[in-house]
Homo-oligomer: A and B are copies of this chain.
Amino acid sequence: MRYGMVIVALMVGMTAAMVSLLSAQSSSSKEVPLSKATQGCISCHQDLHPGIVSAWGRSRHARITPEEAMKVQGLGLKVSSKKIPDRFLKVAVGCVECHTQRPEAHTGTFEHAGYDVHTAVSPNDCSTCHAEEADQFSRNLMAHARGNLVDNPLYMDLARTIEGEVARKGYLLDFTPADPLTQAESCLHCHGTKLEVKGSQERDTLFGWMVFPVIAGWPNQGVGRENTDGSLGSCGACHNRHQFSIEMARQPYTCKKCHIGPDVPAYKVYSASRHGNMFSTHGKQWNFKSVPWTVGEDFTAPTCASCHVSLLADSSGDKIVPRTHQITDRLPWRAFGLIYAHPQPISPDTSIIRNADDLPLPTNLDGTFADEYLIDAETMAERTENMQTVCRSCHGSAWVNGFWERFERTIQTTNQATLEATRVMIDIWDNGYAVNHLAGGSLFDEAIERRWSDVWLFYANHIRLASAMAGGGDYGVFADGRYHITKAIMELNEWLRHKAAQSARECEE
C-alpha cells in the first residue's frame, strides 16, 4: 500500500524534479543523466526537504559525471582515484551513488524504498572517487580528533570538569561525566561523535509508516566522527553537504565553525589580519573555484586553505605547492597549548603519547618535550620550507625570514610564560593549597586550577596564532593575549602569596 503511494509520487514528482534540476544546472552546457535510483530519491525528497535537493542541484556532483571529470588533464584533475567502478561512471553523483555504497560495511544500513541505504556517508565512501584525499586525511590529526580526546584520560578529566554535571559535596564540588547528549553538543560537536545503531523505529511519514534505524550520536558533522563503517572523519565537516562546494572549503568561514573560540581563535585572528582585511575587501571578486588555485590571479591574499591545504600554482601554471589533506604537512609546530607548544606529533593518533611523568601529554610539566612521540628537527625544517614556499608567493625572503624569526621567538616566550604560571601552580599543589592528581584530585576542578588552564588553553594560543597568522597585533596583546597572560600569572602569584601568608599566620597562632 505505502509502496503504491511511493510509485505514484515518483511519477508525479518526476517532472518537477527535472525542471528544477535543469534550472539549477543552467550553467552547464549539456545535461547530466541521473541514475534511475537517484531519480526515485529526488521525486519524494524534493518535496520533503527541498533544501537538501536544491543544495545538491548546485553541486559539481550534479553537473558532471565521474567519467567526464576523470578526463581533466594536469593540475585541474579533481578525481584522484585511478579507477572508478563502471556503475558510477556515466551518471551524476546523486543520492544513491553515495548513500548506498558499500551497504555491507555500514552497520547503519537499512532497507528504504527498495534500496539498502545508510544515512551518514563516510570518507571511505568518498574515497571511491577521491582516494588520494581520503588517504591524506586518514593521516590528518583531525581524522583522529575524537579518539585523541576520548581515549586520553587526562583530557577527558578536563572535559568532565567543563561539561559534566556539577554538585556540591560538602564544601567541595563534584563533577559527574557528561551524559552522551551533552557530550555530543559540547566537545564532540567538533571532535566527532561515534555513530552507533541502537535499534530501529517506525515513523509515520507522508508516504506511510516506514522503519528507520535509531543512530546514537546523530546528527553530527564533527571532523573526527566515527562512522557506521568504522572509518574516521567527516568530509562534510569542511565540504558542507550537499553542495560540497570548493568555494566554501576555501573560505575562512568553514574553518571558523570550530576555530573561533578562545582556545583556537584562528578565525578571529585571521579576520583582523592584513590577509583577512584583503579577503574581506576584495574576496568577493576572487575566483574560489579554480583548480589549481593561481596566486595573484585567482586571489591576492591567502585564506586558511591557501596556506594549509590547497594546490597552488603560479600564473605560468606551475605548481607552487601540492594539495594536502594532511594539514600538518606545512606545520612544524603544534601551536596549540597542551600545555606547551611543541613539535607536531609523529602519529595522528596522539592518545598513545606519554610524557616523562607517564601523563598522556606531548610535553612535560616543565615545558620539555615528549621527544620520542614528536617530529624531529629535520622534519620540522621540511615542513617550515613547505609553508615558507607559500609565503614567498607574495613576500620577499627578508620579509619571510623576519616574520618566521619572530614566530619562533613567540613559541619560546609563550612557553616560558606558561612555565612560570605552571611553577606557581606546582607550588600551590605542593603546599596542599589545591589538590592535584598525585593527591587523588583533578588538575582542573578548582577555581585556581581553572585560572591556570586559562594561561595555556586561551592566552598562549591567542599570542601564538596572532604571531603565526597576523604577525602580532591586537589579538596577541589585548584580546586574550599578552595583557591577559601576565594578568593571570599576577593573579596566580597573588593567590599563592595570600595562601602562604594565611598559612603562616595560622602556624603562629
Contact = CB atoms under 8 A, between A and B. Distances in A.
Given A315-B50, A396-B49, A403 B261 contact: no
Nearest to A488: B447
A182 to B, nearest CB: 6
Nearest to A170: B497
Tallying the copies of this chain within the complex gives 3
Given A55-B296, A163-B482, A248-B282, A46 B315 contact: yes
- Interface on chain A toward B: helix, strand, loop, or mixed SS? helix
Interface string A400-424: 0011011001100100110010011
Interface stretch (A79-87, A357-365, A375-383, A469-477): A469-477
Interface stretch (A29-37, A213-221, A330-338, A348-356): A213-221
A162 B494 contact: no
Interface in A6-28: 16, 20
Interface residues of A, number: 134
Contacts of A487: 447, 450
B260 A300 contact: no
A135 interface: no
Interface stretch (A88-96, A122-130, A137-145, A273-281): A273-281
A189 B274 CA distance: 12
A260 B474 contact: yes
A149 to B, nearest CB: 12
Contacts of A248: 277-278, 281-282
A258 interface: yes
A119 interface: yes
A479 B257 CA distance: 12
Contacts of A189: 470-473, 476-477
A167 interface: yes
A201 to B, nearest CB: 8
A507 to B, nearest CB: 13
Contacts of A53: 296
Interface of A: 16, 20, 46-55, 58, 119, 161-168, 171-173, 175, 179, 181-182, 184-187, 189-190, 203, 205, 212, 214-215, 218-219, 221, 240, 243, 245, 247-248, 251, 253-254, 256-264, 267, 271-274, 276-278, 280-282, 284, 294-297, 300-301, 314-316, 392-399, 402-403, 405-406, 409-410, 413, 416-417, 420, 423-424, 445-448, 450, 457-458, 466-467, 470-479, 482-483, 486-487, 489-491, 493-494, 496-497, 500, 505-506
A162 B486 contact: yes
A262 B484 CA distance: 11
Contact of A163 (B55, B257, B274, B477): B477
Given A47-B314, A261-B477, A277 B296 contact: no
12 contacts: A50-B314, A51-B395, A53-B296, A167-B420, A181-B406, A189-B470, A189-B476, A214-B398, A215-B398, A256-B277, A257-B274, A263-B478
